[in-house]
Amino acid sequence: MSLKLSENEKRNIIGYIEANKPLPDEYRFLLFEDKNEVELVWNEKTNEVTNIVLPFQIIEQVDEPREEQDIRKNQMSLFDTSGRQISGWTNKLVWGDNKLILSSLKNGPLRHEIEKQGGIKLIYIDPPFDVGADFSMDIEIGDETLTKKPNVLEELAYRDTWGKGTDSFIAMIYERLNLMKDLLADNGSIYLHCDWRVVGYIRLIMDEVFGSNQFQREIIWSLSGVSGYKSLVNSFVRGHDSILYYSKNDTPLFNKHYLPYSEAQLKRFSKLDEQGRRYKPITKTKRIYLDESQGVPISDVWSDIASFQTIVNSPEILNYPTQKPEKLIERIIKASSDENDIVCDFFCGSGTTLAVAEKLGRKWIGSDLGKFAIHTSRKRLISVQRQLKAEGKDYRAFEILNLGRYERQHYVGVNPNQREEEKRKQLEAKERDYIELILQAYKAESITGFKTITGKKGPRLVVVGPVNLPVTRRYLEEVIDECIKSQITKVDILAFEFEMGLFPNSLELAKSKGIDILPRKIPREVFDKRAVGKGQVKFHDVAYIEIKPIVKGKTIAIELTDFSVFYNQDADEQAMEALKNGKSKIVIESGQIIKISKDKNGIISREQLTKSWTDWIDYWSVDFDYESKQEIIYEQDDSDNIAEKWTGDYVFENEWQSFRTKQDRSLELVSAPVQVTKSKIKIAVKVVDIFGDDTMKVIEVNV
C-alpha cells in the first residue's frame, strides 16, 4: 500500500507518536485505505473473536415429560433420541457464558452435527440492554413475594456487560454477533430485539458484522396500552420496541404470512364477475379475487400482538424480566424457519423461544448465564412436552449441558491490551486480594506452599474457589490430587457457585480416597466490608436431601422426606436499620424466610413465612436407574478428528418429576412406582430450590 502523505503530514504523525499522543481521526483515514466509510468506534474495540473450544457435558436428559409406569430407556449417544422422539437430534439447553458457548459451537465437534441437520436457520436474541437494570427476580412464598438477587457470578457478568456503560454492552454484543454470523446457515437469519436505548448502536454494529446489504427490515412492535407512569411524562409516550432483522446472505429462507381481512377490507371486494366470484379491481385489466387471496401481507409494523402490559392474567406470564409473548416469537419462527430446522436463542431467559420452537416442530439450542433461567426453561419445556404428549403429538428429548473444563483466564477481569507481563502481575494481584478477602470473612488464616489450598481454619484446610466461574469437576480433581500428594484429609471448599451435577459423585470420590471435603457457598455479603469486619458473614453448606424408597415386590417409588438449605440474604443489622417506619422487608436467615416489619413507632416484629421444609422446593425428579448412561464428551483435535471420552460421571435421566408452576403451587412428595428388573439398583433424586440451585442424592436399593 502506497501512502500519499505530504512531508508536513509525515512530520505531524511522527510528532504525535514521539509525544505519546493519540493520532487525530484525520490521520487514521489517511493511513488506512481499508477503512469503513461509516464506522462505530468504541473504547477497546477489537476484531479478535474468541476461538476457545470447551467440551459440552450432559448434566441431565429429559426423554419423556413424566413416567407413570416403567419404560426403560435404550442407551443413547450425545445426538441420539429415543421413544417417540424424531430421530437424529436432541435439543440442547446450555448453562454458561454464551461467548464461550458460541465459540465452542462454532469451533468444536458439535458444529458437525449442527451442519448435518442443515445448520442454524434462525437466531432470535433479546439481550438485556438496560445499563441500569436490576436483574433481581420476584419469587412467591405463600401470599408474600421474595426478591431473589442475582448470584455473585451473574452479578459480575452483568456488571461487566452492562454496568460499565454503553461501551461494555457494545463490545459484548459485537463479539457475540460475529460468532453467531459464522454459525448461521447460508440462508439463515437473525432477529435482535431491542428498544430505544441501544437500537441506534445495534443497527450500526449489525451493519458492520452482517453488511448493510443484509439488513432486511426494522420491525416495529407496537406496545399497545400505556402504563400510568408513562402517560405522565412530558413528552411523546414510548409505544414500541424494535426488532432488527438481518440475513447472512442475499437469499434468506422466508415464508410470507398474511393476516385475515378486516370488515372494511372485505368490503373492497365488492365486484362480482359472471360466475358470481367476488373481486377487487386493481387496474382496468387486473383484479384480485377474494377466494384466491390469502389475506393482508404482514408488514414490518406489528400492532396486532399485545404486550404483557395489557395481558396481565395470561397463563404464559412467568414474571421473568424481558419475557415476550409467544405469539411474537411464533411469527418470527414461522417466517424464517421450516419444520425440523434448528432455531437458537443464546439469551433464552424463561425459554419462550425454545417453547415455541418445540410446539412448532423445530429443533432448538438455548443458553443462558443464569442458573435460575435454565431451571425456569426446564420446567417450561417439560410442560410443553406434557402438553404435546397429551395431544398425541411428537416432541423431542432435550438435555441440560454445562461447558466442561472452564479455563480460569477467560473469566478474570484483566485488561487485554496490556503487555503479557503486566497482565500476569495484575491477575496475580487481583487473585491475592480476592483470596485474602474470603479467608478473612471465613475467619481462616492464609497459608502458602500449595497450588489449590490457600488457608487453614482449625484442623481443616481451606480452598477458595475462583471469583468468577463455578468450581468444576476438573478443579475439584486438582484439589483431591493435591490432598493425596500432601496427605491432607480435611478440606473446606468455598465457592460462589458449584457446577451443575458436581455432587454427590465427586464427594464420594474424595471420600473413597480418605479425604473429607466440605463444600460451602460464599455469601454475597462477603463484599460488604462492614459485615466482614463485624464477623457477620455466614457461609452456608450445600443443601441436603432425605429420601425413602418404597419397595413393593418388583416395583419401587421414592418419597421425598426432608430438604434443608442454609441461605442468608439481607439478614444483617444494616438491613434492619435501613428499614423505614411503617415498612416491611423479606429476608432469609439461616435457611428461613422471614418478614421483618417496623411499625410507625419503630418497633420491629418478625414473622416466619417458611412453615415447612417443602416451601423451599420448586422441583424434584427421579432417575430410577442411575449410572446406566455414562456421560460422554466429544473432543476435537487440531486435525478435526473427534474422540469420545467418558468423564467418569453419569447422566441424570429424568424419568419422573413434580414441580410448582405459577398456576399450580402444589407439589407431590411421592413418585409414581416403577417396575425394576435388577436386584440392586442405584436411584438418583434431584431437588431444585426456589432460587434455582440444584442438589442431588444417590442411594442404592435392594429389590
What average pLDDT does the chain have?
85
Q: What is the structure's pLDDT at 18? A: 85
Q: Residue 605: CB partners within 8 Å, gap ≥ 6?
A: 596, 597, 598, 599
Any idea which fold 56-257+298-404 has? Rossmann fold (3.40.50)
* Grid coordinates given for 8: 508536513
Q: Tens of pLDDT along 105-139?
A: 999 999 999 999 999 999 999 998 764 555 677 77
**Scanning the structure block, which residue is given the C-alpha cell 422422539?**
85
Query: Any idea what DSSP says for residue 300?
Result: S
Contact 360, 339 (CB under 8 A): yes
Cα first-last separation, the chain = 80
Q: Measuring CA to CA, which residue among 368, 408, 402 is closest to residue 633?
A: 402
With contact defined as beta carbons under 8 Å apart, do 204 and 38 qualify? yes
pTM for this predicted structure = 0.83
Separation between Cα atoms, residue 12 and residue 34, nearest integer Å: 22
Q: Residue 674 forms beta bridges with which residues?
A: 556
What pLDDT score was predicted for residue 682?
94
Q: Report, at the CATH architecture level, how domain 413-498+504-541 is classified.
A: 3-Layer(aba) Sandwich (3.40)
Task: Please report where in the chains the cell 436411584 appears, as a residue.
Answer: 683
Closest CA to 497 of 520, 531, 528: 520
* CA distance linking residue 166 with residue 162, whole number of Å: 7
pLDDT at 75: 35
Q: Are 121 and 187 in contact (CB under 8 A)?
A: yes
* Beta carbons of 157 and 166 less than 8 angstroms apart: no
pLDDT along the chain (703 residues), means of 10: 73 85 73 64 80 88 69 40 62 93 94 95 89 64 72 66 74 94 97 90 94 96 65 78 96 94 90 91 90 92 82 70 89 98 96 97 94 92 92 91 63 52 73 88 94 94 86 90 96 89 83 94 77 78 91 94 85 71 84 87 88 93 93 81 85 94 90 91 94 89 89
CA dihedral 435, 515, 450, 154 (to 10 degrees): -30
Q: Tens digit of pLDDT for each residue in 271-297?
A: 999 899 999 998 888 999 998 898 999
Q: Are 135 and 159 in contact (CB under 8 A)?
A: no
**Contact between 689 and 375 (Cβ < 8 Å):** no
Q: In terms of Cα–Cα distance, which of 199, 198, 195, 262 is closest to 222?
A: 195
- ∠ Cα 214 219 220 (to 5°): 150
Phi, psi of 75 (to 5 degrees): -65, 140
Q: What are phi and psi of 610, to 5 degrees?
A: -80, 110
What pLDDT is stored for residue 3 in this prediction?
Answer: 62
Euclidean distance between CA atoms 331 and 217, whole angstroms: 14
Helix (H) or strand (E) holding 360: none
Domain ranges of the chain: 1-35, 56-257+298-404, 413-498+504-541, 544-620+668-702
- Per-residue CA distances from 50 to 53, 85, 126, 636 (Å): 9, 34, 21, 17
Quote the strand ranges of 407-543, DSSP E.
445-446, 453-457, 460-464, 490-495, 516-521, 540-541
Contact indicator for 453, 460 with CB cutoff of 8 Å:
no
